[in-house]
Amino acid sequence: MTSARTRFVAALALLLITGSVFAQTETGSLVCKPVTQRTSEQGCFIRTNRELGILPDVPLYWHIDRFASRKSADAMRGDDGTVIEAYGSVWLMTIARAGWQPANGTRTAEVGPLPLNAALRYTAVYMETSFPAGPIAGPHTHSGPEAFYVLSGEQCLETPQGKMTTRAGTSGIVPGGVPMALTAIGTEQRRSLVLILHDSSHRATTPLNTWKAEGLCAS
């Protein structure tokens, strides 16, 4: 068994045991581990999983607000809000209508609208990811939309429709079911906040061997 095959089997086992978000790459496997298993500043770490159930049948957005303390963020958290700590800051993540904003905190971004199915029950997986330039995740797909907000550096996401480059201070969304491959580009460390809002009856991420990236992000 090759070393790549060994890494694939090990990562798949970890996924089945822990529910970790998983994506197969050509150079190995990217496993987004629970933050409690963190051993390095670099990597993909799950801050929280939260079941949201059936969401309102209106255009919804991912609202990102920064707070000075967890206490102040918790005071502003609504039914569809989640407080996480990442990159030395406290963040309130909320799924709500356009224009929603807490009474306190500093608005960072409003990402959306999120392409959702009103008939499905959703689970929100919030992550932080930090990588130097190079491949991050090879062909994979999600059972719901993935949204990301880049804090520093740049990333390039290739899908069958082409490539999307996202720089610090900007965001992007990929609908559920769309094949993708992710690469960090540029010279600065890429750091981002990530939301996978997935169908609760399916795992968040599935590796693909039926689609291959053309290397658009390498050019």
CA 205 to chain centre: 10
**CA distance between the termini of the chain:** 33
Examine residue 216 and state whether it is found in any structural domain, yes or no.
no
φ/ψ of residue 146, rounded to 5: -110, 130
User: Does a structural domain hold residue 219?
Assistant: no
Predicted pLDDT at 30: 56
**Domain membership flag for residue 214:** no
Torsion of Cα atoms, 17 then 144 then 149 then 50, to 10°: -50
Per DSSP, 65 falls in state: E
Half-sphere exposure of residue 60: CA atoms within 13 angstroms, side-chain side: 22
Q: How many domains does the chain have?
A: 1
Q: Enumerate the β-bridge partners of residue 173.
A: 147
How do 190-199 and 146-152 pair as beta strands? antiparallel
Per the structure block, which two tokens stand in for 201?
């009856």
Q: What is the pLDDT along the chain (219 residues), one digit of tens a residue?
A: 444 444 433 343 333 333 445 443 333 345 688 888 888 888 889 999 999 999 999 999 999 999 999 999 999 998 899 999 999 999 999 999 999 999 999 999 999 999 999 999 999 999 999 999 998 888 999 999 999 999 999 999 999 999 999 999 999 999 999 999 999 999 999 999 999 999 999 999 999 999 999 999 986
**Containing structural domain, residue 49:** 3-206
The pLDDT score that the predictor gives to residue 10 is 38
Q: Which helix (H) or strand (E) holds 147?
A: strand 146-152
Q: Are strands 60-67 and 106-111 parallel, antiparallel or unpaired?
A: antiparallel
Residue 164 lies in a domain: yes
Q: What is the pLDDT of residue 32?
A: 83
Look at residue 4 in the predicted model and tell me its pLDDT: 44
pTM equals: 0.85
Q: Which domain CATH number covers 83?
A: 2.60.120.10
212 within some domain: no
pLDDT of residue 12: 38
Residue 152 maps to a domain: yes
CA distances from 141 to 69, 114, 196 (A): 35, 16, 11
Distance separating alpha carbons of residues 107 and 142, to the nearest angstrom = 27
